[in-house]
Structure 1
Amino acid sequence: MPRELAEPDERGTLTIGHAVVRKVAQHAAGQVPGTAHDGKKGAKAKVGGLDNDVDLALDLALRYPGAVRAVVGDVRRKVTEEVELITGYHVRTLAVTVSALLPEVAPRVR
């Protein structure tokens, strides 16, 4: 026989660490077409904020040539959507810095 759950207010709390929010943001940014990996690393994120409101700062590289504003807009939408969906936190601010434009690299071996 299944046990009945306590009322939501009596069940306890859930806290999602900033490290988890950072990983979600970095992964989401890397999924956007037009973003690039600078070496082996993709986007870098910093997370701040209190309670259920988070402030994000992303540093990422984009493919060249490309529409920088359009790709950054897509990154903002995707990161905000994923962080809010997965963590339940509200993204209060999202600052994006494009630190590099990387050309498409052709493979050396054909």
Structure 2
Amino acid sequence: MSTEAAERADPGERGRLHISRSVLRKIAEHTAEQDPGCARTRRRIAGLGLGEHGASAQVSGPDDALRVRLDVALRYPAPVRDAVAALRTRIGEELTRLADCQVRTVDVTVSALVAADAPPRVE
């Protein structure tokens, strides 16, 4: 194919695109962290404060049937079932919109509830 013909060809026929699972994981985590129902929590190991962390995700499976496992902290008081349903929908939509992947499941583990009006603690 000549250079001119290649330039006019459909972009989908010019080559292949592979999006790393780490990128898909970051999309899922970022989407969850943007949700107003999610909260950041303090990370502690052996009694030492190590800063804050937000949502944590794992992504597996083929692009047409992704499986996402998400660990989040939610703001309290909030209806947990509704917050999780909204997260599942948003993450599926974002992965489809940004990476053209189809999400089969989003398993959510709520690891903490954080008071919505709790002032930050100084350690």
The TM-score range, normalised by the shorter chain, is 0.7 to 0.9
Tell me which stretches of 4 or more aligned residues in structure 1 moved more than 2 Å: 3-10
CA root-mean-square deviation: 2.1
Question: Could you say if the C-alpha distance between residues 41 and 107 of structure 1 is closer, same or farther in structure 2, counting changes exceeding 3 Å?
Answer: closer
Deviation at 1:66, TM superposition (A): 1.1
Specify which of 27, 30, 42 is matched with residue 30 of structure 2: 27
Q: 2: distance between equivalents of 1:8 and 1:106?
A: 51
**TM-score, normalised relative to structure 1:** 0.87
Structure 1, 5-14 or 66-75: larger mean CA deviation: 5-14
Which runs of 5 or more structure 1 residues have no equivalent in the other structure?
A: none
Post-superposition CA distance 1:16-53 (Å, at most 9, x none): 01000000000101111211111221110000002433
Q: Which has the larger radius of gyration?
A: 2
1:106 and 2:109 aligned: no
Determine the structure 1 residue equivalent to 2:21: 18
Deviation at 1:81, TM superposition (A): 0.7
Determine the structure 2 residue equivalent to 1:86: 98
How many residues were matched structurally? 108
Task: Say whether the 8 Å CA contact 1:33–1:71 is kept in structure 2.
Answer: no
Post-superposition CA distance 1:43-82 (Å, at most 9, x none): 1000000243311000000011111011111111111111
Q: 2: distance between equivalents of 1:9 and 1:67?
A: 43
State the structure with bigger RCO (CA 8 A, min sep 6), 1 or 2: 1
1:66 and 2:69 aligned: no
Determine the structure 2 residue equivalent to 1:37: 40
**TM-score, normalised relative to structure 2:** 0.78
